[in-house]
């Protein structure tokens, strides 16, 4: 079996669902269920004996140690993280506690478990840490995409906390020999994405007749990766990755934010036209940019393709169509995640910005 942390969040839940479609191997899923962790993401597994959910914190070393000893996993895949730049600007402490302190306690528990394994099991064990391209900082126009040897230059409390967690994982490999793997991915999108991030926020607001907020001039560039492609990359790295190595995972889809918004509007105009016959583009509103907003990210994903044979299946055009259709087909899920706390967050982050 494997232990997955943060498996009720966006990427983690997609990984768990995809894993159990392809494997009979059991998953124990540890998630703290903060604002973005949602058991509804895993509703289809309610009666599946291969999936055991445990609510808890990766920083709880006693709980993690107990789960490891009782379930005897061959691998731990760590998705657990606070992961939103805007939230890290408003409240950085949660990011420090989960992404740095929590990762430290998780590593300590895993090291103790791994050290006690018989030699054969110890050799086969893996700790896979899921991270982000934001640790590399910001790229200038025309600058080569991020490779695995790029210097870390994090520019937000979120990316700084993830950079620290990456360094801890590396240190535990080089100091203690812990068999680790690290992946640094570009911006994910797809089903079950919490609607505070750009793509789900634009879809949800458009359908509700609300403004579509775009930071600054909308020319911030990101590399977009369909979440199911990301999950297949993680499975590939877990199976074939070289110990201690870092693998960048990207979709080869550099797009400006405003172009993303235009693409979503065009798809909604086609799939769910406004009753007044106008385009959803009329709802676009430019708002004050966030502090320290990185201008461009881009992933060079040649290493994972060259060494492990992985590359994404979805283009942006196929992936965004699937994503928009999923949100149209799952309005109940959307309505259920839009709690009072979520609405208060949107008010705090967007309503106070000058338009």
Catalytic-residue membership of 133: yes
Q: Could you identify the residue written with the tokens 């900082």?
A: 137
Q: What are phi and psi of 309, to 5 degrees?
A: 80, 20
Q: Per DSSP, which regions of 217-305 are E strands? A: 221-226, 246-249, 254-256, 284-287
Instruction: Answer for the pair 78, 102: CB distance below 8 angstroms, yes or no.
Output: no
Pick the catalytic residue: 136, 158, 280, 297?
A: 158
Cα 100 to Cα 237: distance, rounded to the nearest angstrom: 23
Task: Provide the sign of the torsion angle of the four alpha carbons 73, 58, 42, 225, taken in this order.
Answer: negative
Respond yes or no: is residue 134 known to be catalytic: yes
Residues facing 189 on adjacent strands: 226
Instruction: Report CA torsion sign: 227, 200, 265, 267.
Output: positive
Assigned token pair, 41 = 């993401």
- Residue 229 annotated to the active site: no
- For residue 169, give the nearest of 33, 77, 64, 56 by alpha carbon: 77
What whole-number distance in Å separates Cα of residue 82 and Cα of residue 35? 10
Determine which one of 134, 166, 196, 229 is catalytic. Answer: 134
Cα atoms in the 13 Å half-sphere on the side-chain side of 58: 31
Q: Which residues contact 120 (CB under 8 A, 6 or more apart)?
A: none
Beta strands in 109-220, from DSSP E residues, in sequence order:
126-132, 180-185, 187-189, 212-215
Give me the catalytic one of 31, 57, 86, 133. Answer: 133
Contact 320, 267 (CB under 8 A): yes
List, by residue number, the catalytic residues: 133-134, 158
């Amino acid at each position: 079996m494997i232990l997955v942390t943060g498996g009720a969040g966006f990427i983690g839940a997609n990984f768990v669902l995809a894993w159990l479609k392809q494997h009979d191997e059991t998953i124990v899923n540890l998630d703290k269920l903060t604002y973005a962790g949602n058991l509804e993401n895993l509703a289809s597994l309610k009666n599946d004996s291969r999936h055991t959910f445990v609510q808890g914190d990766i920083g709880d070393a006693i709980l993690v140690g107990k789960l490891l000893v009782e379930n005897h996993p061959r691998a731990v895949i760590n998705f657990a993280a606070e992961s939103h730049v805007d939230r890290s600007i408003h409240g950085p402490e949660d990011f420090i506690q989960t992404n740095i302190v929590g990762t430290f306690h998780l590593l300590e528990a895993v090291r103790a478990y791994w050290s006690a394994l018989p030699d054969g099991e110890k050799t086969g064990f893996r700790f896979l840490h899921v991270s982000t391209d934001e640790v590399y900082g910001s790229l200038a126009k025309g600058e080569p995409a991020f490779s695995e040897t790029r210097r870390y230059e994090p520019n937000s409390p979120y990316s700084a906390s993830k950079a620290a967690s990456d360094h801890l994982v590396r240190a535990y490999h080089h100091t203690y020999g812990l068999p680790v793997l690290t992946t640094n991915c570009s911006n994910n999108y797809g089903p079950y994405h919490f609607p505070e991030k750009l793509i789900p926020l634009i879809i949800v607001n458009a359908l509700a007749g609300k403004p579509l907020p775009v930071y600054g001039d909308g020319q911030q560039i990101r590399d977009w990766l369909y979440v199911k492609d990301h999950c297949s990359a993680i499975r590939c790295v877990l199976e074939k990755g070289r110990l201690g190595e870092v693998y960048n995972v990207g979709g080869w889809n550099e797009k400006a934010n405003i172009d993303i918004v235009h693409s979503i509007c065009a798809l909604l105009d086609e799939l769910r036209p406004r009753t007044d016959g106008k385009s959803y583009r009329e709802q676009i509103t430019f708002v004050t940019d966030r502090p320290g907003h990185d201008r461009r990210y881009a992933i060079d994903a040649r290493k994972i393709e060259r060494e492990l044979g992985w590359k994404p299946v979805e283009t942006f055009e196929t992936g965004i169509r699937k994503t928009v259709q999923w949100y149209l087909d799952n309005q109940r899920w959307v309505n259920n995640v839009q709690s009072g706390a979520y609405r208060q967050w949107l008010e705090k982050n967007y309503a106070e910005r000058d338009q």
